[in-house]
C-alpha cells in the first residue's frame, strides 16, 4: 500500500470514529534545570551543608539563601548590608563579583517577609525520604539539619555548584539568621515583586 493511500486510510478511520485530529505548531517547551526537583533540592542541601551545620537552619533562612543563590544580582547588596559594621567588610566584598542576573519565577511568593518557593516542602520531603536531612524541634522553632548521609552528598555538590559555594563561603559556617531574614526584606526591591506578580497573571 502506497504512503498516500495509507494516510488516506488512516484519515478515513479517524473520521469514521468521529475523532478530530489536531496538529500543535507551538514551539517545544524545553525543561530547564530549575524545573527539576532534584536540582532545586541539591541547592537546598548545599545551603544546609555549608551554613550552621551543627544546629541546622530554619526553613525561612533556607528560603532566603536559596533566593540569593538563584539571583546573583542581589548577592552583593546582601553582603554589603550583612558586613557593613565589620572591619573585614571591604576584603570580603572585593573577593566576590557576582553576575547581574536575576530570575522571575511565579513559584516565588512573599511569605513572612521572605521569598518562599511554593515547592519548598516538596524539596524537603525529597531530601528527607532519601535520609539527607533531619528535622529537629517543632513549629515555630523547627530546624532542618543535614544528616551524615547528606554531608557525603554535599561534598560532591561542592564540586558542581562552584559559584554558589563561593558565595556561601563568605559567611563561614555560622550565619546570623535573624540578620539574614531582616536584610533580605530590604535587598529585594518592590519592583521585583511587582514584576513577579505580572508574571503570575
Q: Which three cell numbers stand for residue 138?
A: 517543632
pLDDT band at 74 (very low <50, low <70, confident <90, very high): confident
What is the mean pLDDT of the segment spanning 104-131?
86
Q: Which three cell numbers stand for residue 102?
A: 536575576
pTM score of the predicted model: 0.76
Does residue 200 register a pLDDT over 60?
A: no
Q: Which three cell numbers stand for residue 55?
A: 544546629
Range ranked top by mean pLDDT from 6-10, 23-27, 120-124, 194-198: 120-124
The residues near 98 (Cβ < 8 Å, ≥ 6 apart) are 72, 73, 75, 76, 163, 167
Other C-beta atoms lying within 10 Å of the C-beta of residue 48: 26
Q: DSSP character for 134? A: E
- Residue 139 confidence (pLDDT): 81
What is the mean pLDDT of the segment spanning 120-144?
92
pLDDT in tens, 49-69: 999 778 899 999 999 999 999
Q: What are phi and psi of 34, to 5 degrees?
A: -65, -20
- Residue 193 confidence (pLDDT): 65
Where helices occur in 51-189 by DSSP H, the ranges are 59-70, 75-83, 89-94, 120-129, 148-157, 162-169, 177-187
Does residue 106 register a pLDDT over 80?
A: no
Number of domains the chain contains: 1
pLDDT band at 4 (very low <50, low <70, confident <90, very high): low
- Cell 541547592 belongs to residue: 43
Pairing of strands 114-117, 143-146: unpaired
- Residue 112 confidence (pLDDT): 76
pLDDT in tens, 11-41: 676 666 666 656 555 655 556 667 788 999 9
Structural domain that includes position 144: 3-200
pLDDT in tens, 140-178: 789 999 999 999 999 999 999 998 998 999 888 888 999
Higher pLDDT among residues 31 and 128, named by residue: 128
- Cell 533566593 belongs to residue: 67
- Contact assessment for residue 109 and residue 79, using Cβ atoms and an 8 Å cutoff: no
- Residue 12 confidence (pLDDT): 73
Amino acid at each position: 500500500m502506497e504512503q498516500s493511500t495509507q494516510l488516506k486510510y488512516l484519515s478515513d478511520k479517524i473520521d469514521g470514529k468521529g475523532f478530530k485530529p489536531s496538529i500543535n505548531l507551538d514551539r517545544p517547551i524545553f525543561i530547564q534545570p530549575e524545573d527539576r526537583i532534584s536540582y532545586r533540592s541539591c541547592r537546598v542541601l548545599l545551603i544546609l551543608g555549608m551554613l550552621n551545620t551543627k544546629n541546622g537552619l530554619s526553613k525561612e533562612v533556607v528560603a532566603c539563601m536559596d533566593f540569593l543563590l538563584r539571583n546573583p544580582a542581589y548577592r552583593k547588596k546582601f553582603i554589603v548590608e550583612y558586613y557593613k559594621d565589620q572591619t573585614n567588610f571591604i576584603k570580603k566584598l572585593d573577593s566576590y563579583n557576582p553576575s547581574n542576573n536575576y530570575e522571575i519565577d511565579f513559584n516565588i511568593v512573599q511569605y513572612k517577609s521572605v521569598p518562599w518557593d511554593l515547592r519548598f516542602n516538596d524539596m524537603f520531603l525529597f531530601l528527607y525520604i532519601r535520609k539527607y536531612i533531619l528535622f529537629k524541634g517543632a513549629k515555630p522553632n523547627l530546624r532542618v539539619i543535614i544528616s551524615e548521609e547528606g554531608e557525603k552528598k554535599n561534598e560532591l555538590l561542592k564540586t558542581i555548584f562552584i559559584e554558589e559555594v563561593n558565595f556561601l563561603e563568605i559567611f563561614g559556617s555560622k550565619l546570623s539568621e535573624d540578620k539574614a531574614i531582616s536584610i533580605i526584606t530590604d535587598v529585594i526591591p518592590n519592583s521585583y515583586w511587582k514584576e513577579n506578580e505580572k508574571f503570575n497573571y
